[in-house]
A and B are shown apart, each in its own frame.
Chain A
Amino acid sequence: MAEGLNRREFLAYSAAGAGVFGLASTGLASFLESQVQMAIVRWTGPAPVSLSEEQKVVSKLTEQVLEALGGIRRFVKQGDVVWIKPNIAWDRTREQAANTNPDLVATLVRLCLDAGAKRVKVGDNPCDLAQKTYLTSGIAEAAKKAGAQIVYLDRERFREVNIKGERIKTIPIYPEMMEADVLINVPIAKHHRLATATLCMKNYMGVIENRQLFHQDIPTSLADITRFMKPQFCILDCTRIMLANGPKGGRLEDVEAKWTIAAGTDIVALDAFGAEMLRRKPEEVGSIKKAVEVGLGTMDYRSLKPKEIALS
């Protein structure tokens, strides 16, 4: 996914053979079985009451959703460097549902490593102080325990990249994220005052700097960055969702536990599903509407025949 940026051109010759073979095999595989494009897994058993119960439920949900999508090996190959990009924006706890669930991230780290990933990095460009958001969200500890490398982004190491967007022409992007072989976008579904909802597309605002630029036209800017990022697949955390006072939140009254995780290859469809979880119509969310207009995916996620699974 990082063709334009990869500085390791010298590897190209040696890698070319393997690449051709890899492409051919993926092409063949997708031809042989029409692959699942989206999966939704719900927990219908009793709601977890303790942290350890929650951990079990969330990791089971995560494993199932990836299983339904064809297994993590569909996306992560032996020796890949994986960057997991959760939402770690705010100095809030997991109960406040402003950041991705740490157990989801930890399970994903484990699955990637099991699939043979060389290294799994976890990092985001937070809005609050990074040291605090990583700690309070619980993500740093959980992901580290699972074997990931925790990366604190260095504000001085972003590079201005030409993303050739409709609204955003150039924007500083974190090179280390682009150099990873796979970037997995793992947002949480939340209310957002300006964007109506913050879902998968909005989560890409954590790979860039100078974010204020986006705020004056969020839908078009998000479509621009999404087109540039070429998402392979995303996982949407709806274990807890924030229904009001987003994106920072803080009030437990605004949070609802749904114990649901969705994943898929169509980022717009996932966002549409997330919008419905937040009790909105997908067309109410500007970025979804814009993304459909410019052909980034479909708003009618049901047309993709998502695999729906209930666990208990």
Chain B
Amino acid sequence: MKIGLIVLPRWMRRVVQVGFLILFLWMVLVSWAPTEGVPSGWLKAFFLADPLLLVLTGVAARALPPLFLWSLVSIVVTMLFGRIFCGWVCPLGTVHSLAGWAFDKVQSRAKRRDAYSPWQKAKYYVLAAGLAMALFGGHWISLFDPLVLLYRTTATAIYPAFQWAVEETAHSVFQADPHVGPVVLGPVQIGPWHLTSLTEPVYQFFRDHVFSLPRQAFLGAGLVWLVFGLMVAANGYRRRFWCRYLCPLGALLGLLGRWPMLRRQVTAEGCNQCGLCLTACHGASASEAGQTWRPSECLMCLNCSAQCVRESCCFRLVSLPWKKQPPLESVGLSRRGLVWSALGGLLALAGLRATPQGRAKHYYHPHLIRPPGARPEPEFLARCTGCALCMKVCPTGGLQPAITEAGLEGIFTPRLVPLIGHCDYNCTACGHVCPTEAIRPLSLEEKHQFKIGLAAFDPSRCIPYVYGRNCIVCEEHCPVPEKAIYCVPQEIMLRTGQFQTVQLPRVDPNRCIGCGVCEHVCPLDDQPGIRVLSTNEIRHPRHQPIPPEIPSHEQLPYR
């Protein structure tokens, strides 16, 4: 039965953890829209290996992008080796590991209880509630998937803050241009020495090789920081609080890894129940010192075997997983608890959905402009995880997280904010990186036809209408070859009584695709004279208040 001792030392786990964290962060950094072609499919690799997204998307949307079958690998690995994903791979888990390590430096371990707490079952009930929601098309729990959480935090909060620091430092040094010298030594003159000769090369390196666009920043970053800060701070209360108590992916993997082939074994003769293993445990998988062990809570961090001074704790492979040897403690879920949490999930879904936004037939938010390729709203919400990958690759920075526009159910889902950036005419990046295909990957031809909204002039703001001066920056930038914005010359009387001709811009609703470049370039940068609203968005067949123009040869009966 015994195959043998696993001689995986703890340092190996640490190296693998840091390696995956660096890989994850690197993938955030290289998430750019390439100048040519579409972004690499590898950018979404972490998400595709995530079984929680597989299950939630599969249940909620009743469909799966075929690439998602990669997460079957994670499932098989978990069934064989337990929650090794949580302890070795998950980059958010590594962030919590590092936080726990940092807290160890400032607080005594004895103060922290690291034995199993029944409250750790909370995450399974969260998962049950999430699955119940998914049955009715709710994908909300995926907002709390650890990979999604960390991607959103890195891409929309940490990375822009870092960029801000680099850029602002370089810009202020550049503008002030502090320098010493020059020193004149007879006919020779040396210097002056500029501080910019130090800051500019550094800035240019980041500008050319790291940052995807200047001054990238996202709405709602404060909220993301707050959630992330709370998650990290919770490590001071219990080590890896998030992973133990709340993580829905951890719960799913815990259920899958209930009978792993990799098992902890404590020799009864060696163990004197000193409890050292308990103080070091990441997952709080034992309720007391000694032989008790709950594989559903074990993160395979190997700290217990590394800490054991009597070398009586080790991990072994067993060949027959159903053999109850050595003894395993069960997850301990109650049927009653599961039913209640499922009901709770349904109640929560009803609460999230019973809003005007949730009942899309009657209400469309004017500023909820979804990226091209986005599915109809209910279907979109049944897939979108709010991971922010699309926002990170958007080459204009116009894709921003919705905070209130899509309701609480759609928080952190992407929407176009043309004031910040428009939708580039020749770009389809967002659809090609979306891991759940909430945004479909479009070809360039499809994208050129894909109406995400409709532009409308505001005659109380637009410069030619209000001030009688020519402008038409919008017409100039309109990317549609036949121009969706056209101009009608009109004679207006000036204050002096003289007449002058101005070009008044108009929108052709048949041609406008709602890319928003007009709104973006409008000189009125506070409240533009032209705005793109979700009117006539192609994804909602019933949201077409402006029907196509009737060709002139068709005579209406009452004319």
Contacts and interface: CB of A to CB of B under 8 A. Distances in A.
Range for the number of chain B residues in contact with chain A: 20 to 34
A206 interface: no
Contacts of B36: 135
Interface stretch (B431-439, B464-472, B548-556): B464-472
Contact of A135 (B35, B214, B482, B503): B35
B470 A215 contact: yes
Interface string B408-450: 0000000000000000111000000000000000000000000
Contacts of B521: 127, 212
Nearest to A130: B35
B207 interface: yes
A129 B396 contact: yes
Contacts of A192: 476
A127 B463 CA distance: 20
B167 interface: yes
A136 B167 CA distance: 28
A127 B479 CA distance: 11
Nearest to B421: A129
A92 B356 CA distance: 42
Interface string A19-49: 0000000000000000000000000000000
Interface in B503-559: 503, 521, 523
A132 B396 CA distance: 12
Nearest to B207: A154
Interface string A213-250: 10111100000000000000000000000000101111
Contacts of B469: 216-217
A248 B424 contact: no
Given A131-B35, A245-B481, A10 B470 contact: no
Given A194-B503, A215-B471, A215-B523, A91 B426 contact: yes
A212 B523 contact: yes
Interface in A109-136: 127-129, 131-132, 135-136
Interface in A247-281: 247-251
A132 B481 contact: no
A251 B523 CA distance: 26
Interface in B457-515: 463, 469-473, 475-483, 487, 503
A252 to B, nearest CB: 9
Contacts of B424: 91, 128-129, 132
A3 interface: no
Nearest to B463: A216
B207 A248 contact: no
B182 interface: yes
B171 A245 contact: no
Interface in A124-170: 127-129, 131-132, 135-136, 154-157
Nearest to B395: A129
A157 B174 contact: yes
A56 interface: no
B189 interface: yes
A295 B482 CA distance: 38
A249 B475 CA distance: 11
Nearest to B175: A159
B214 A216 contact: no
Given A132-B35, A156-B167, A156-B171, 11 more contacts: A10-B182, A91-B424, A91-B425, A127-B521, A128-B479, A135-B36, A194-B476, A212-B473, A213-B523, A215-B471, A251-B482
A193 interface: yes
A156 B475 CA distance: 26
Contacts of B471: 194, 212, 215-216
A193 B478 CA distance: 12
6 contacts: A10-B189, A91-B424, A135-B36, A156-B174, A194-B472, A249-B481
Nearest to B177: A7
A193 B472 contact: yes
A198 B396 CA distance: 26
B508 to A, nearest CB: 13
Nearest to A198: B476
Given A132-B426, A193-B503, A248-B476, A216 B470 contact: yes
Given A156-B171, A156-B214, A215 B472 contact: yes
A89 B478 CA distance: 13
Contact of A245 (B167, B174, B472, B483): B483
A14 to B, nearest CB: 10
A215 B462 CA distance: 13
B170 to A, nearest CB: 8
Contacts of A248: 476-479
A87 to B, nearest CB: 13
A143 to B, nearest CB: 16
Contacts of B503: 193-194
Q: Which 6 A-B pairs have the closest CB atoms?
A: A250-B481, A212-B523, A131-B35, A251-B481, A216-B469, A135-B35
A194 B470 contact: yes
Interface in B63-88: none
Nearest to A245: B483
A194 B477 CA distance: 12
A135 B427 CA distance: 14
Contacts of A250: 479-481
Contacts of A157: 174
Contacts of A194: 470-472, 475-476, 503
Contacts of A155: 214
Interface string A167-204: 00000000000000000000000001110000000000
Nearest to B192: A10
Instruction: Tell me which of B214, B481, B487 has the highest count of chain A C-beta atoms within 10 A of its own C-beta.
Output: B481
Q: For A91, A212, A217, A218, which residue has the most chain B Cβ atoms within 10 angstroms?
A: A212
Interface in B375-417: 395-396
A245 B475 CA distance: 9
